[in-house]
Every structure is written in structure tokens, then in C-alpha cells.
Amino acid sequence: MKHKNYTKVLFLTPHPIEGASSRYRIIQFFPYLEERGIHCTLNSFFSSKAYTYLYKHRFLIRKFISFLVGAVKRLYYILRAGNFDAVYIHLEFFPIPLKILETIVKSFNKHIIYDLDDSIYLHRESANKIRELFRGPEKLYRLLKISSEVTVCNKYLYTYARQYNKNITIIPTSLDTQKFKPLPIRRTNNPIVIGWIGSHSTAKYINIISNVLKRLAQKYRFIFKVVGSGKPIEIEGVRVINRDWSLERDVEEFQTCDIGVYPLADDEWTKGKTGFKTIQFMAVGVPCVVSRAGANIEIVEDGKNGFLADTEAEWIEKLSKLIEDAELRMKIGRAGRETVEEKFSLNHIASLFHQVIMRAAYGG
């Protein structure tokens, strides 16, 4: 494969570094790529400042202004696409369906990589016709078809994307195991901290285990820590601590849990998820109990590096084991950490990411 001493790649993401998918699917690879002669230029549609209020119910004027600013910047980079050896598009190209923009970027640069890490096409089949018209159901299909390479996070999305493009690479969502690592000294505080860490869009799944936590609270003394839910979570009879998510405290929030939980619905949307919260808990040596759904089934060996649960009885049984047995928590935590180091570490995945870029830019 012949190429220049350096390669220029334009990365287009919907969210800044504060957005988990932009951070872990794209931005965290930049240092690795720069060391190997790939100059990375990032254009996030929304700024870090805009991200602080983007998903809140207020600030409509600010959101509109942020959209206009983001649109102008995105158009600027679209017109400069020809100055790069490849264009890497993560999830969203432009928030509204303007086919002409995809035609322009394709005419300027034929070396396009598209990254899909969610079943976003399911949203486009919603009964909300006005919203779907605004989003444009055809946008995703066009992006898949015009791309030289497509990356996805799991086998389920691989099967979906293969309908529109044959050059598909599975790149599991990874993390830096030098940052996400167990605390040097294991927590000995009492009570036990059971942690849920997510976002406003996934907070609804806490309802799956709310009755489980109520029943456990009648027998055990513990704190349920909720991070990033967007609004306070209250569960009758359970001591709940609510925290806002922040980039600075991201790793610490995982590390300071004794047990992690990741409840999910077993549906088509979940099948497109990467199971990343499971991986994050495992990386810091925190044993977790997660829904037997989606990618969790591929990540967790039940009873070895974590626990899978379907029914309320299973959730209670497996959380009870971990609450009662500190040695078991340590054993499962160590095994989880080993799984992440072997399969989901940044160093392991980064070379695959690099290969995709070089294929798209230069062929081979």
C-alpha cells in the first residue's frame, strides 16, 4: 500500500468530546493516529457549550442559534472535503435531510468512511411522521451506500449495514485501560454502592430494576448511585444519590461503585447497542449485573466475569450474592478487567481503526 508520509482525515461527528459515542468511537483514537502520521481534523456539529443544554427542555433560542452555528461550520468543512485524504462520518452527517450536501461531499472526496454504532434507523420508522420527515429516513441508507468503508460496533449492525455496503468492519467500542482501571486500594466503605451510569435516554431502563432495589433495601443496607439520568431518580425505600455526569469525573464515578448495574429492554434497539457500560464497569474491576440482552450476551460469561439477569428473581439473586460476598466481588471484578484488556482495550482496537482509514484513503 503506497501513501504519503502523512494522511489528512476530516472527522465529522454530531457531538463534541462530551458525547460518549463521539469520544469513544472517534476522538480517543486521535493521539494514536497522529503518532502514525495521520493528521486529524475534527468538526463536531454541536459545541461543548451547546452540549450542556442540548437535551434540556429549555433554552430553545440557544439551541436554534447553536444549530445555525453548527450548520455554517459543517458547510464550511463540506466545501473543504477535497483537501483531505478521507472523510470519516460518525453517526450523523447533517441533522436535516439535504441530499445535495451528500452529493457535494462525495464529489469533492470519494474516500468516505461511515461509522454506525446505534440502531438509529429504528427511530426513522417511528409513528411520528413530522419528526421522521425532518430527519429524513433515506439519510442513513444514502450514507451507507456512498461510503468506501463502513464501521459498526457489533454483529447485529454488521448484518444490517451489509444490505447497503459490502465493505463493513466491526470495530468494538473500546476504552483506554490506562485511564479506566481499578482503584489501587479497594473501597472498604459501608454501605455498599450499587451504581447506574447512563444518560437521559437510557434512564427509563432503571424502572426495570426499581422493584428489585426496593426488595433488596428491605434486607440490605446500600446506596443506589445514579449518574447522568438528566432528572432526579427516586425509588421508595431506597437511598438514592443523584449526580450530574461530567467528563472530569467520568472514570471516578465508575471506580467508586462496588457493584454496577446495566438494565436494558430486550428489543431491536438494544440489539444495536455496544454494551459499553458493561465494559466500563468491568474495566475498573467493578462486578456488574446486566440484562441478558444485546451485546451483553457476547461480553459477559454469567458467573465468571459478570452476571446476566432476565427476571426479577434473577436480579435479586445475583445482586444479593455480590452484596453479601466481598471476595466474590473481587473475583468477578478481576475477571471482568481481564476480559476488557483482552478484547476491548484501546491499544488492541486502534490498529484496526487505523487500517480502515488507510484502506479508505489509499485502497488495498
Residue 1 lies in a domain: no
Residue 215 lies in a domain: yes
pLDDT tens for 225-252 read 999 998 999 999 999 999 999 999 999 9
What CATH number does residue 353 fall under?
3.40.50.2000
| Whether 297 and 353 share a structural domain | no
pLDDT tens for 9-49 read 999 999 999 999 999 999 999 999 999 999 999 999 999 99
Instruction: Give me the number of domains the chain comprises.
Output: 2
CA distance 157 to 121: 10
- Give yes or no for residue 262 having a pLDDT over 60: yes
Residue 287 lies in a domain: yes
Q: Domain range for residue 309?
A: 192-343
Task: Tell me the mean pLDDT in the region 121-142.
Answer: 56
Task: Give the three-state DSSP class for 222.
Answer: strand
| Whether 233 and 137 share a structural domain | no
The answer to whether 161 and 150 are in contact (CB under 8 A) is yes
pLDDT tens for 156-202 read 999 999 999 999 999 999 999 999 999 987 666 679 999 999 998 89
CA distance 303 to 305: 6
Residue recorded with cell 420508522: 125
| Whether 148 and 235 share a structural domain | no
Q: How far is CA 27 from the centre of its chain?
A: 12
Strand partners, 193: 223
What pLDDT is stored for residue 230 in this prediction? 87
C-alpha pair distances (Å), 97 with each of 68, 108, 124, 136: 15, 19, 12, 5
What mean pLDDT value characterizes the chain? Answer: 90
- Give yes or no for residue 57 having a pLDDT over 80: no
What pLDDT is stored for residue 172 in this prediction? 93
pLDDT tens for 94-118 read 877 667 788 888 888 999 999 998 8
| Whether 14 and 106 share a structural domain | yes
Residue 328 lies in a domain: yes
